[in-house]
Structure 1
């Protein structure tokens, strides 16, 4: 558990942004190329214009996970963001007629839930007794037991 609040928020934002970039540049192209048996390069090219948008949305979601500090809520938050961003990336990349929108949404939601399980534990808020012990007993911030 990270005791410094500003470091948790920064780490959540950075890790969330990297997860969004990974979703649009690696996860979705791999899943879609395995479903339709097309080279993943062309799918990466179709989704490449929206990688920054996905990274920004996921960076905000990572910040929200760090702000809440509750590990049980993180898979719900990132799963919902993954589901929504997967559907939107599928829509803008492949059009409304395609069944790949559903594939992208399910893949994004699953990726978000797994990422939420990991980030929720990493960005969990410290227990109250750890904060009190660090702040009052030792002003240097080092916990000795």
Structure 2
């Protein structure tokens, strides 16, 4: 029996979100973002979430340095954003200039106009294999639901119907 974790896990539907953070460079703030599908609620009291990012993701380095991030949970209208934030840093920077964002009230990380968002401060991080697990304490939440959620399934982004 061969082990094909990627193919097997593609059969598990996950929500799609964009994680944002920033870095201070030469007296300027440079925002960055990346698409993620690993957001999980860990605890309601205290409010904690987990997130994993690949170790070679440059957003991860910025996030670990600042210790804060925002997560914007996408709906079906966000499939183009999800694809753009899977690109290289230049593509992601351009995408940030073309979507509606505002600095989070607690962290300053950009919040994308989305059905749900939250801001976190880093509580703990730990490397496992080729990814880093981040545990964040949720500092603020918000959003407004308009359309069905965007989910990833079988390597494609899809609308979740009946919502």
Band of TM-score, shorter chain: under 0.3
* TM-score normalised over the length of structure 2: 0.25
* TM-score normalised over the length of structure 1: 0.27
More helix by share: 1
Greater radius of gyration (CA): 1
